[in-house]
Amino acid sequence: MIKTIGKSFIAAVGCLAISAGAQKPNIVFIMLDDFGYSQLEAFSRGLTVEDIDPKMLAHVAEHSEYTPEQAFKQLKKASPTLSRMADKGVRFNNAFACSNLCAPSRIGVATGILQNRWGIYRNIDTEAHGLKPNSHLAERLKERGYATAHVGKWHVGSRDRDMVQRFLKKHDVKNPEKYSYYTLEKDYPHIMKELKNAGYRGSVVPKDHPLNNGFDYYFGYNMWECIYYKAQNVWENFEHAGVVKKYNTDAFTEKALTFMEKSLDEDKPFYVQLHYHTAHHPLKPKAPAKYFKRFDSGVYDLDNFYAHVFGVDECVRQIETFLAERGEAENTIFVFTSDNGGAVGAASPLPGNAPFSGHKGMLNLGGFRVPLFFYWPAEIKKPAVKEQLVSTLDILPTLVDAGGGTLPEGLDGQSLLPWMLEGETSKVRDHLAIGGIHARVWAFNGYTSFFTHNVSREKAPSGYIVADDTYILRYVSETIPDLYKDAVDGIPAHYVLYDYTKDPGEQHNIADQFPEKVEQLKGVWKRESAAYPKPVAWGEDKWKAMQDYK
């Protein structure tokens, strides 16, 4: 990825942000899970039904009981605090997640390094690889005297498989090494249940544990999901937290607030990653009445989804109120984003990822585009909306820079402080080049598959995107026959090109009109991907299929 701003300039701005004698800002990094681009009110303004992916509209009309108009009405009530922060901060309208899946995205965010450089393309690669020593950028804040905490979803490393072996040996199982957690179901379901109750599914191997990667405190889960009530996969530091009976949005917020209070009592600035379960499946459990009562469409899934979102919003308001009472609200940075495009269409409703097409797991814009804003009252005196091409890779470098830390060499992400505080108007970067899976299974397009989720996912093709500030090139390798109901003969490997500034819904392929642009962006991929090794765990054939430069 090509950087266009000199490091000396960025370092100078960072020094300005915490000039001599200035108090270091507190930092709260809020990330939602599978949250759609326009499911935050501030990012939905001006949208109409015509801006929504036609396939999602058709899916909702067939499978849901609400209208687009009802969805827009409930959406407007769901995020007053977060939308106010977006309006009064710096909003980045052209932000790409560094992956269309959660675990690869989260490890990229954590390190500021595009995960493809480590052979990470899917969740299974992330879990097999984990973090490299001293790679989590939270360590740079800890070096600056920050108290650091991660609360909520982690999912950047392996589960602690030694737990399985310990439990098998405790039960005197012969040849325990031949079993994994999931293969226990047939022969030893009672041990599998015992492991589940002991928190195995949310465990994390010591190498990848937050406390060994820059954090002072951890309350969270190393898994793709955490049920809203009675969760059994949450850990506190190195100990299983038992059954977390409380609604997890509230539980996570309470832990974060306790840590913030302790840090302030000790006169230490804090960095808190508050990475909520909302809006990951399962979404059906009913939000608490204090949140649900605000929504009145009469359609459960619609009201309940935006009640979950409002729960997050109210918890952010609670944090802001606490900080104001402590005199810390002005000098606290809030940053908000989602890990990837929304898994929209069923219990995650309209407008979904509008105006973009597709969803989580796809190489469409809807798989990558996310809301992103920074709110920092003490320093952001003039609210702004930025259209430069940025990435979630830039979040941690920006926060480390704001805290006065030093960024390591070789990052793909970079500090956005020049654009936030100094009125910089140049490009942030020339392009993004990201490889991964192109699968329909994670949202409304999944209904077109002949297979179950897991089977369809493994049969799905690979591909890549290359985006600059105007165009996106998408390459998808061959889709096999009899995978999708609308493509029983399969789909040949192909390239498509869109001007996403004019056609965010990717409805008009202009590859034939602009062959030079296609070749230019193909060349970017060829150069960049030369540094991307084969997958750690995903099939090598999928990786080789990405390397089609015809």
Mean pLDDT of the 162-168 span: 96
Mean pLDDT of the 137-152 span: 98
Quick one: tokens of 350? 């309209």
Q: In DSSP terms, which residues pair with 191 in a beta bridge?
A: none
CA-CA distance, 58 to 72, in Å (whole number)? 17
CA-CA distance, 71 to 302, in Å (whole number)? 7
pLDDT band at 5 (very low <50, low <70, confident <90, very high): very low
Mean pLDDT of the 473-481 span: 97
CA-CA distance, 433 to 524, in Å (whole number)? 7
Region of 62 on the Ramachandran plot (φ > 0 left; ψ -120 to 50 alpha; else beta)? alpha
Do the Cβ atoms of 500 and 85 come closer than 8 Å? no
Q: In DSSP terms, which residues pair with 532 in a beta bridge?
A: none
Task: Note the pLDDT of residue 117.
Answer: 98
pLDDT band at 15 (very low <50, low <70, confident <90, very high): very low
Residue 357 clears pLDDT 90, i.e. is over it: yes
Mean pLDDT of the 241-268 span: 98
Angle at 199 between CA 258 and CA 289, to 5 degrees: 55
Q: If one looks up domain 24-159+202-546 in CATH, what number appears?
A: 3.40.720.10
pLDDT in tens, 296-347: 999 999 999 999 999 999 999 999 999 999 999 999 999 999 999 999 998 9
CA-CA distance, 529 to 523, in Å (whole number)? 10
Cα 55 vs. chain centroid, distance in angstroms?
23
Mean pLDDT of the 531-544 span: 96
Mapping DSSP to helix (H, G, I), strand (E, B) and coil, where does residue 268 land? coil
Name 216's Cβ contacts closer than 8 Å, sequence gap at least 6.
Answer: 142, 147, 148, 149
CA-CA distance, 343 to 265, in Å (whole number)? 40
Q: Where are any strands of DSSP class E within 329-371?
A: 332-338
Q: What are phi and psi of 110, to 5 degrees?
A: -60, -35
pLDDT band at 548 (very low <50, low <70, confident <90, very high): low
Residue 2 clears pLDDT 70, i.e. is over it: no
pLDDT in tens, 69-114: 999 999 999 999 999 999 999 999 999 999 999 999 999 999 999 9
> Residue 283, exposed/middle/buried by CB under 10 A (0-12, 13-18, 19+)?
buried
pLDDT in tens, 284-298: 999 999 999 999 999
Mean pLDDT of the 529-545 span: 95
Mean residue pLDDT of the chain comes to 95
Cα 539 vs. chain centroid, distance in angstroms?
23
Please state the length of the chain. Answer: 550
pLDDT in tens, 496-515: 999 999 999 999 999 999 99
What is the maximum alpha-carbon separation in the chain? 68
Angle at 214 between CA 342 and CA 433, to 5 degrees: 40
Residue from 148, 108, 140 nearest 263 by CA: 148
pLDDT in tens, 375-403: 999 999 999 999 999 999 999 999 999 99
Task: Note the pLDDT of residue 549.
Answer: 52
Task: Note the pLDDT of residue 397.
Answer: 98
Task: Note the pLDDT of residue 547.
Answer: 83
CA-CA distance, 358 to 365, in Å (whole number)? 7
Per domain, the residue ranges of the chain are: 24-159+202-546, 160-201
CA-CA distance, 529 to 533, in Å (whole number)? 8
| Helix, strand, coil abundance in the chain, percent, nearest 5 | 40, 15, 45
| C-alpha Rg value of the chain to the nearest Å | 22
Task: Note the pLDDT of residue 425.
Answer: 95
Quick one: tokens of 268? 């230490």
Mean pLDDT of the 124-128 span: 97
CA-CA distance, 256 to 535, in Å (whole number)? 35
Q: What are phi and psi of 79, to 5 degrees?
A: -140, 55
